[in-house]
Structure 1
Amino acid sequence: MAAKDDRGRAGEDRAARHLTQLGYDILDRNWRVRQGELDIVAATARELVVVEVKTRRSEAYGHPFDAVDARKSERLWRLACAWVAAHPMAVRGRRIRLDVIGITGDDVDTAVLEHVEDLR
């Protein structure tokens, strides 16, 4: 399990670098409450973005995005609301959106990174 955790952490690091390169500010990482965890909370001038990161060695068991079904999406929205309640000043009129970043490949640093904005 430690190798899987390390791989997931490496994927989250790569996703955070990707977001930073796009101009996002990283506000929080691995924010946890009893109900679950948010991988990354980022912001632009106009949006607060909750980012779920899925890292896979291959698509043998499905695409990384397949892991974010309607049930997972609803849970992420509930967690986003909990994060906002705990950090009300971070919203400041920003729209809230949910993104998913999928990373597929053996070497996380060179793996294919796909970013879906505004998952609904």
Structure 2
Amino acid sequence: MNAKSALGKYGETLAARRLTEAGMTVIARNWRAGRTGEIDIVARDGDAIVVCEVKTRRGAGGPGAAGAFEDPMAAITPVKARRLRELAERWVHEHGGAPPGGVRIDLVGVVLPERGAPRVEHVRGVS
């Protein structure tokens, strides 16, 4: 495993923990849809399915420090949002149809500073 994939896996573990702490149930991680792409985390939030994209970045310094990195929340471009919607549709189709609460796409951004605790931010309904 290279450093980038190890970083991503660690971020996904922190994200799954955050979602679980928020009362969601993680039902799949790294679900692949052939060459179409991958859903980082699929969770259940009440009667809704949540397709969750996780973006992990390294930051400089501790909380509030300036660093030369892209904010993980800036990573959802219109193209990425469209791909996530397509993957969500495929997940629903392959797993028995949409639940009563529908499907939501969330983003969890993880920033790992050089010092201090990781910063995990969960944004609901990004797309």
Q: TM-score, normalised by structure 1?
A: 0.90
Measured in 2, the distance between the counterparts of 1:28 and 1:81 equals: 15
Residue number in structure 1 paired with 2:119 = 112
State yes or no: 1:79 paired with 2:93: no
What 5-or-longer segments of structure 1 have no aligned partner?
Answer: none
**Does the 8 Å contact 2:30/2:38 carry over to 1?**
yes
Structure 1 segments of 4 or more deviating over 6 A? Answer: none
Residue number in structure 2 paired with 1:94 = 101
* Structure (1 or 2) with the larger CA radius of gyration: 2
Aligned amino acid, residue 110 of structure 1: A
- Structure with more helix by fraction: 1
Residue number in structure 2 paired with 1:3 = 3
Helix, strand or coil for the counterpart of 2:113? Answer: coil
Measured in 2, the distance between the counterparts of 1:113 and 1:14 equals: 7
Helix, strand or coil for the counterpart of 1:88? Answer: coil
Aligned residues: 118
**Does the 8 Å contact 2:31/2:39 carry over to 1?**
yes
Residue number in structure 2 paired with 1:55 = 56
Alignment identity in percent? 41
Aligned amino acid, residue 101 of structure 2: R
- Give the 5 Å matches for 1:29-40: 29-33=29-33, 34-40=35-41
What 5-or-longer segments of structure 2 have no aligned partner?
Answer: 60-66
